């Protein structure tokens, strides 16, 4: 076979192979390390979305001291020397993670005191209710709420959750409709009260 014919054959083969390949996109995302800490199963390092997009994760702590000296001491959940716990939240993910951890540990008083918004506490007070009724509701729906919060934390990283501004300082995290149908609780509302606080799970 001549050199020209060989080159022509190789070109045709390459063209055929390229024609048979479907284009796809790869996205690289940094995933906060605390996502794994609040998950009850190992997180996948690679996810393929319905449109063929491949998400590749790099677990990283956004508050790592090597990245930002001012943030090195920030912890969303900190146990002090006296055994007391302090909860903090700057991002929606922090509220979701803190709430999920409190539900798993059945720390309803801690959740009420430190992560629940004053608006929600006032709404309970208007009905003549308080911590006791709040705790009873969370105990009753503990499994469904934990399931929702866990999936939301994972869903944020794979575009299954929408985070939107609802006005009046309120942020709403909600599942996309195709995901929401599998859950009893489908939305979480947050409000900015000198840091983000939990407003409602519904």
What are the b/e assignments for 12-26, b being 16+ CB within 10 Å?
Answer: eeeeeeeeeeeeeee
What gap in Å lies between CA 157 and CA 59, rounded to an integer?
11
pLDDT at position 159 is: 86
Confidence at 52, pLDDT banded by 50, 70, 90: low
Confidence bin at 173 (pLDDT 50/70/90): very high
Please report, to the nearest 10 degrees, the dihedral formed by the alpha carbons of residues 133, 139, 140, 144 taken in order.
130
- Kindly state the tokens that stand for 53: 């997009």
- Tens-digit pLDDT profile for residues 23-41: 445 555 566 665 555 555 5
Question: What number of helices (H) and strands (E) belong to the chain?
Answer: 8, 9
Contact indicator for 26, 54 with CB cutoff of 8 Å = yes
Q: Name the more confident of 163 and 74.
A: 163
Tell me the domain boundaries of the chain.
Answer: 89-201
Q: Residue 157's pLDDT is what? A: 85
Per-residue pLDDT tens over the stretch 40-50: 556 666 666 66
Better-scored residue on pLDDT, 179 or 33: 179
Stated pTM of the model: 0.68
């Amino acid at each position: 076979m001549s050199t020209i014919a060989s080159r022509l054959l190789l070109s045709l083969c390459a063209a055929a192979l390229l024609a048979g390949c479907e284009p796809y996109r790869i996205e690289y995302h940094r995933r906060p390390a605390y996502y794994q800490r609040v998950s009850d199963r190992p997180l996948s390092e690679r996810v393929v979305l319905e449109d063929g997009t491949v998400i590749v994760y790099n677990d990283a702590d956004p508050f790592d001291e090597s990245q930002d000296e001012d943030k090195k001491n920030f912890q969303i959940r900190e146990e002090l020397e006296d055994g007391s716990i302090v909860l903090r939240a700057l991002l929606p993910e922090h509220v979701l993670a803190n709430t999920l951890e409190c539900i798993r540990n059945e720390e309803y008083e801690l959740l009420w005191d430190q992560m629940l918004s004053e608006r929600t506490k006032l709404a309970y007070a208007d009905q003549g209710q308080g911590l006791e009724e709040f705790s009873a509701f969370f105990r009753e729906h503990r499994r469904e709420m934990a399931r929702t919060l866990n999936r939301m934390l994972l869903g944020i990283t794979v575009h299954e959750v929408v985070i939107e501004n609802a006005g009046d300082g309120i942020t709403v995290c909600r599942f996309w409709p195709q995901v929401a149908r599998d859950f009893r609780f489908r939305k979480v509302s947050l409000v900015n009260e000198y840091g983000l606080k939990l407003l409602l799970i519904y």
